[in-house]
Amino acid sequence: MSTRVMHLPSNRLEDRFADKKPPYDDAEAFAEANRCLYCADAPCIKACPTEIDVPTFIRKIATGNVKGAARTILSQNLLGKSCGQVCPVDVLCAGACVYNEWEREPIRIGRLQRYAVETAIAASPGLFSKKPSTGKRVAFVGAGPASIAAAGWLALEGHKAVIFEKKALPGGLNTLGIAPYKMKADASIAEIEWVLSLGDIEIRQGVEVVRDVALPNQVSARSLCDDYDAVFLGLGLGPDSRLSIEGEDGPGVEGATALIERLKSDPSLRIEGVRRAIVVGGGNTAIDIAHELALLGVHSTMVYRGTEAEMSAYDHEIASGRMDGVSVVCSRIPTKVLRDESGRVVGLRVVKAESKRAIAGTDEDLPAELVVVATGQSRLTELARSFEGVELDGRGRVVVDAATHRTGNPKVWSGGDCVNGGKEVVNAVAEARVAARSMHAFLVGGG
Ligand SMILES: Cc1cc2nc3c(=O)[nH]c(=O)nc-3n(C[C@H](O)[C@H](O)[C@H](O)COP(=O)(O)OP(=O)(O)OC[C@H]3O[C@@H](n4cnc5c(N)ncnc54)[C@H](O)[C@@H]3O)c2cc1C
Ligand code: SF4
């Protein structure tokens, strides 16, 4: 059940995607680094949730010290390689770059970050040295970016980390959710293998943490609290929400994250019979799957109940999806999935909407062979509550002390999507860092 080598099957649909931002070579990185103005009080640092010292790492690239650049990045963000590829830089560091004020292209910070970390690790993976063993053991629930980052930092401090992951592959949504034109699953896995090399970290894949154990591949929340010196909850979010409309149950209707996961990891997924797909939702997950389907040659339409201005998807993602053929239909509410006599999906019935409310008598039938539901993910409230003393807020998020990320149980910390309700990888890493510091202080007797 535990493994250190994680193979992905070949012939997945994700293999068909090209990288939209291919890695820089040395000359490109050097040229881009030399455009940076190394601003004092740099706004790009403040815009980064992990507060990476951007001008310092870029200057190190410009002076040929790529290893030093990687150390500057990774000491703030252990998943700095992933974040260089997947961060929405347009609304974070690059969006804050002073070049924007002069309507000039901002520094491509994400691509430089990826270049520095990939180049340095390829040349010499041993960028950090682990402290002597403390004999303390920490359990992690979930192997997403929050747990992986926290485990890496705690392992460097000499603690043993044991990560319990219910899925066959580690990495959470960073492995199984990121759009393949940004980063493929094997890149996330390779980064995790590097984190594992930092210290004593074990991942037990295919092991689910539950309240009451009923199966051999389960462990109880209580046993983790009893058997380990501290516990970190990096649960993420739950399954895709449903539309709860007629015709929804059956083949041809898929939850967005479930479909993306198969696209990235399941070689049996094929979409040859799908010419048109409708994606219901207006967020980043909706635009991601609509964009992915469009790049696979499917005519892909997003259907959203509000106006375009009300869509929560980033403008740059919508614009990029449109460039690749995604259509957007706003102010429509789905009422029925249409199926033929044999049960095959043939379309989606919608009504027009005003202020997100249905207008009676305005039915329209939109043809499609596939309907994807991207209207949000549920919360894993039952699992979180199975840890004694852990509290949830009214939106099902794990409540933590903001300064320490400790929960109501003094032995349990938490971070990532289950705490923030669903943000970005960089937020999960930033929260993991706060938790890891507090956990380390506790483990060595000061917390
Ligand atoms: C479709 C999609 C695209 C995204 N694209 C981007 C992007 O481009 N850039 C970006 O920065 N962010 C993106 N995000 C968000 C980002 O992936 C998440 O914010 C991040 O992965 C959260 O990390 P996490 O560790 O909190 O949770 P997760 O990544 O969800 O990991 C949680 C892990 O816990 C495991 N788990 C849950 N319950 C149990 C249990 N009972 N026992 C054992 N294991 C359990 C899960 O299987 C999972 O592996 C995207 C999200 C989605 C849905
Ligand atoms: S704001 Fe732009 S130019 Fe200034 S340090 Fe940051 S990346 Fe360089």
SS3 7: coil
Residues whose CB is less than 8 angstroms from the CB of residue 29 and which lie 6 or more positions away in sequence, other chains included: 61, 111, 112, 115, 116, 119
For ligand 2, atom 4, the nearest C-alpha belongs to: 39
Q: Ligand 1 mean position to 235 CA, how many Å?
A: 8
Angle (deg, nearest 10), helices 284-295 and 315-323: 20
Please state the separation of Cα 167 from the chain's center in Å.
15
DSSP letter for 398, please: B
**Read out DSSP for 403-419?**
TT-B-SSTTEEE-SHHH
Residue to probe by mutation, ligand 2, list 92, 97, 108, most atoms within 8 Å of CB? 97
Can you tell me the distance from the alpha carbon of 210 to that of 233, in angstroms, rounded to the nearest whole number?
12
**Which H helix or E strand runs over 229?**
none
Q: Ligand 1 mean position to 163 CA, how many Å?
A: 15
The ligand 1 atom at the shortest distance from the C-alpha of residue 182 is 8
For ligand 1, atom 36, the nearest C-alpha belongs to: 142
What is the predicted pLDDT for the residue at 7?
Answer: 81
User: How many alpha carbons lie under 13 Å from residue 72 in its C-beta half-sphere?
Assistant: 21
**Are 141 and 413 in contact, with CB atoms under 8 Å apart?**
no
Q: Ligand 1 mean position to 47 CA, how many Å?
A: 22
For residues 330-343, b (16+ Cβ closer than 10 Å) or e, as one string? bbbbbbbbbbeeee
Q: Ligand 2 mean position to 37 CA, how many Å?
A: 6
**Read out DSSP for 263-292?**
HHH-TT---TT-SEEEEE--SHHHHHHHHH
CA-wise closest residue to 247 among 332, 326, 331, 350: 350
CA-wise closest residue to 155 among 203, 199, 204, 197: 199
Tell me the two tokens of residue 56: 């310092």
**Are 418 and 233 in contact, with CB atoms under 8 Å apart?**
yes
**What is the value of pTM for the model shown?**
0.97
For residues 75-93, b (16+ Cβ closer than 10 Å) or e, as one string? ebbbbbbbbbbbbbbeebb
Residue to probe by mutation, ligand 2, list 59, 99, 111, most atoms within 8 Å of CB? 99
Cβ of residue 61 lying under 6 Å from some atom of ligand 1: no
Cβ of residue 84 lying under 6 Å from some atom of ligand 1: no
For ligand 1, atom 5, the nearest C-alpha belongs to: 178
Q: Ligand 2 mean position to 429 CA, how many Å?
A: 22
Cβ of residue 208 lying under 6 Å from some atom of ligand 1: yes
Q: Which ligand is nearest to the CA of 145?
A: 1
Q: Ligand 1 mean position to 390 CA, how many Å?
A: 20
**How would you write the pLDDT of the chain (447 residues) with one tens digit per residue?**
444 457 889 999 999 999 999 999 999 999 999 999 999 999 999 999 999 999 999 999 999 999 999 999 999 999 999 999 999 999 999 999 999 999 999 999 999 999 999 999 999 889 999 999 999 999 999 999 999 999 999 999 999 999 999 999 999 999 999 999 999 999 999 999 999 999 999 999 999 999 999 999 999 999 999 999 999 999 999 999 999 999 999 999 999 999 999 999 999 999 989 999 999 999 999 999 999 999 999 999 999 999 999 999 999 999 999 999 999 999 999 999 999 999 999 999 999 999 999 999 999 999 999 999 999 999 999 999 999 999 999 999 999 999 999 999 999 999 999 999 999 999 999 999 999 999 999 999 966
**Read out DSSP for 50-89?**
T---HHHHHHHHHTT-HHHHHHHHHHH-TTHHHHHHHS-G
**Are 73 and 52 in contact, with CB atoms under 8 Å apart?**
yes
CA-wise closest residue to 69 among 56, 50, 52, 86: 56
Residue to probe by mutation, ligand 2, list 35, 37, 93, most atoms within 8 Å of CB? 37
Residues whose CB is less than 8 angstroms from the CB of residue 363 and which lie 6 or more positions away in sequence, other chains included: 335, 349, 350, 351
Cβ of residue 86 lying under 6 Å from some atom of ligand 1: yes
Q: Which ligand is nearest to the CA of 257?
A: 1
SS3 231: strand
Residue type at 162 in one-letter notation: V
Among left, alpha and beta (phi > 0; psi -120 to 50; other), residue 445 is left
What is the predicted pLDDT for the residue at 3?
Answer: 45
For ligand 2, atom 8, the nearest C-alpha belongs to: 36
Residue type at 220 in one-letter notation: S
**Are 131 and 156 in contact, with CB atoms under 8 Å apart?**
yes
Q: Ligand 1 mean position to 141 CA, how many Å?
A: 12
Cβ of residue 8 lying under 6 Å from some atom of ligand 2: no
Can you tell me the distance from the alpha carbon of 97 to that of 106, in angstroms, rounded to the nearest whole number?
6
What is the predicted pLDDT for the residue at 446?
Answer: 63
Cβ of residue 43 lying under 6 Å from some atom of ligand 2: yes
Please state the separation of Cα 156 from the chain's center in Å.
23
Q: Which ligand is nearest to the CA of 174?
A: 1
Cβ of residue 54 lying under 6 Å from some atom of ligand 2: yes
- Bridge-based pairing of strands 218-220 and 208-210 is parallel
**Which H helix or E strand runs over 145?**
helix 145-156
The ligand 1 atom at the shortest distance from the C-alpha of residue 145 is 25
Can you tell me the distance from the alpha carbon of 282 to that of 278, in angstroms, rounded to the nearest whole number?
12
Q: Which ligand is nearest to the CA of 44?
A: 2
